[in-house]
A = this chain, B = another copy of it.
Amino acid sequence: MGGGYATTEELVDAVARRLAAAGRRLTEHRRRVVGALAETPGPRTVAELTDALGDAIPLSSLYRALAVLVEAGVVERLHEHDGVARYELSEVLVGHHHHLVCRRCGRVVDVAAGGDLDAAIDRLARRLGRRRGFRVRGHHIDFVGECERCPR
């Protein structure tokens, strides 16, 4: 996916640079959170993260780490299906993509963006935005449906 980093090291370097640019440090906590997010593509909830991290990080610290990472442009917060936020590595790190969202269980899966279509959407976006007084910076598509784990 365009913008993706081949190795974890490269990714961590990029994260460190962005944190530094924001006057923040790359601490152990933050490194682990990025690691957990990098493990699998797609947005994760805080519950899923604590889980993946083996409860190594207290809740408040985890939230603070995520807030800093978001502020530094390393992580994006989104989608709050049922009032729970989901966090994933930002597009500058993993490339432009969209989401398949299960309307039943809320599971979210990344899908690669489709080049031509995205360009067309961006053109449309700028036009629509101009009319409504928005400066459109990007777009995001949710493909909504049911996943195979939620039969019926």
Contact = CB atoms under 8 A, between A and B. Distances in A.
A147 B121 CA distance: 19
Nearest to A122: B143
A9 interface: no
Interface stretch (A30-38, A43-51, A134-142): A134-142
Interface residues of A, number: 35
Contacts of A139: 141-144
A146 to B, nearest CB: 5
Contacts of A136: 100, 143-145
A142 B133 CA distance: 15
A145 B141 contact: no
Given A83-B85, A100-B129, A117-B121, A135 B141 contact: no
Number of copies: 2
Interface in A112-150: 114, 117, 120-121, 124-125, 128-129, 132-148
Interface string A69-110: 000000000011101010000000000000010110000010
Nearest to A110: B132
A80 B146 CA distance: 20
A143 B134 contact: yes
8 contacts: A80-B81, A100-B134, A100-B136, A121-B141, A134-B143, A140-B142, A141-B141, A142-B142
Rank and list the top 3 A-B pairs by shortest CB-CB distance, nearest first: A80-B80, A133-B148, A136-B145
